[in-house]
Chain A
């Protein structure tokens, strides 16, 4: 039998470490394996026995790009477990904190990780020699996100201000107000970013996705809402009744499936936009119409445009909150202790992040479950690679590997989170 193998030993421009293995038999793409080979990080195991209030700071260490997502899913799940009600002020500030994370993560991915694929550069560094203004803009936007995280979270990487019931300390008005001029510039700059990426040439590919995202009746989702898919709405408390994690031999990160469905599902910006486009704030919504982004959009290469609209959304919401902020209430509601069981899902930059905790009577964690977005997207990425590359099976190994990497980067995978960079191997005779 004619067979060849193509391997990408290590993906570049993705967060974390993993590889790709392609097997081609008799000119047909036979197998695609997204190989995540980093050792499991075992966070769920070493949270057992820790005090509930320690959890947000521990889970933040899962990722340096999206620590806020882990903090948000964990505090909301633990607050549900312990019956803690947060104030409207805390609720709004937590959305503001998430805006900071979306801004720094989306700006980084769009400008330095994904745009080089569309413009034909091997790296962000090479692209910067020819598109310096765009790269400078991306770095400035990312810096705004980091500054917001510092002002509200105490520091940009692994913030330390999130607490059960609220925050350890509410920022002073002037600390947040100082950011307003930069965010006024940022809204306009983010709109320019969307117009820039909307003009890229996108490969023709339709993933015909089963999208999964939080939806909320009143707002673009961050921390609250129900889990929407094509045929059903599911409470965050019932995730395990609708979805299931499972192990595959070639990945140290668990895959996930939607029960009753025979194909994978997609989380992330395209899914969020699919269910929540009408809840975008005015500037983002007008821009979505202006650039003519189709709805629904099933082309993963256009995720960069969806990400851009969310960049505008995050700036718009952040600016409104920064302008209106007047600290009035307590920094946090008090915890009553255990026992209890609680779940929460929030929207990390890469998609839905679900946490569940069981808390003992003494306030320690009995059991923790963490389902990251990249882990949920693994099966969909393999499925898309097989569809996208099937017509290219006769191409050279170099072409196949390049196309595969381009597609994988559109999902902005955070392999460190799911458990962690990439290698591509193609088998063929």
Chain B
């Protein structure tokens, strides 16, 4: 990825501290460790994306989801995608990821290229400790995201 494109690419991990819902944060934390110069943010809610899209030409979002396959599997969708509408993106509050992206489209803020990385998770439980296998999964997913961006 060229330096210019890196600056115009926003990589956002959506998550919370609650159990498997933390996966979005863990993936972008690992990506930041690998590529400290990339434009990477942790978001508590997908709605926060609406304020982060100015000047962004490519958006990469990673979030937990349910209904895409076996727990621990991960998948990529290019927006717009009918399949995305059928999935439940795990969140603890506020607009879901698909709704937030739709709001960004209606408000003219959505960048030309949007890629969603969904990681299939189990139930999210408040106060549940992050499972150690989730951290391992985050390393695998972050590597896949990085490989896809570096071509």
List A residues at the B interface (Cβ < 8 Å).
64, 125, 128-129, 132, 135-136, 139, 143, 157
Nearest B residue (CB) for A61: B126
A-B contact pairs, 22 of them (CB 8 A): A64-B93, A64-B94, A125-B99, A125-B102, A125-B103, A125-B106, A128-B103, A128-B106, A128-B107, A129-B106, A132-B106, A132-B107, A132-B108, A135-B107, A136-B107, A139-B50, A139-B107, A143-B51, A157-B44, A157-B45, A157-B93, A157-B94
0 or 1 for each of B27-69: is its CB under 8 Å from A? (1 = yes): 0000000000000000011000011000000000000000000
CA A157 – CA B47 in complex, angstroms?
13
A115 CB to nearest B CB, Å: 15
Q: In the complex, which residues of chain B have a beta carbon less than 8 angstroms from the beta carbon of A125?
A: 99, 102-103, 106
Q: Is the interface of A mostly helix, strand, loop or mixed?
A: helix
Q: In the complex, which residues of chain A have a beta carbon less than 8 angstroms from the beta carbon of B94?
A: 64, 157
- Among B102-143, those with CB < 8 Å from A are 102-103, 106-108
Q: In the complex, which residues of chain B have a beta carbon less than 8 angstroms from the beta carbon of A157?
A: 44-45, 93-94
CA A139 – CA B109 in complex, angstroms?
13
Nearest A residue (CB) for B45: A157
CA A408 – CA B44 in complex, angstroms?
30
A119 CB to nearest B CB, Å: 15
Q: In the complex, which residues of chain B have a beta carbon less than 8 angstroms from the beta carbon of A129?
A: 106
Q: In the complex, which residues of chain B have a beta carbon less than 8 angstroms from the beta carbon of A143?
A: 51
CA A132 – CA B45 in complex, angstroms?
22
Q: In the complex, which residues of chain A have a beta carbon less than 8 angstroms from the beta carbon of B108?
A: 132
B77 CB to nearest A CB, Å: 20
CA A125 – CA B98 in complex, angstroms?
12
A126 CB to nearest B CB, Å: 9
Q: In the complex, which residues of chain A have a beta carbon less than 8 angstroms from the beta carbon of B103?
A: 125, 128
A200 CB to nearest B CB, Å: 22
Nearest B residue (CB) for A155: B44
CA A44 – CA B45 in complex, angstroms?
28
CA A136 – CA B51 in complex, angstroms?
11
Q: In the complex, which residues of chain A have a beta carbon less than 8 angstroms from the beta carbon of B102?
A: 125
B19 CB to nearest A CB, Å: 16
CA A125 – CA B99 in complex, angstroms?
9
A61 CB to nearest B CB, Å: 9
CA A145 – CA B94 in complex, angstroms?
15
CA A135 – CA B107 in complex, angstroms?
9
0 or 1 for each of B58-90: is its CB under 8 Å from A? (1 = yes): 000000000000000000000000000000000
Q: In the complex, which residues of chain A have a beta carbon less than 8 angstroms from the beta carbon of B44?
A: 157
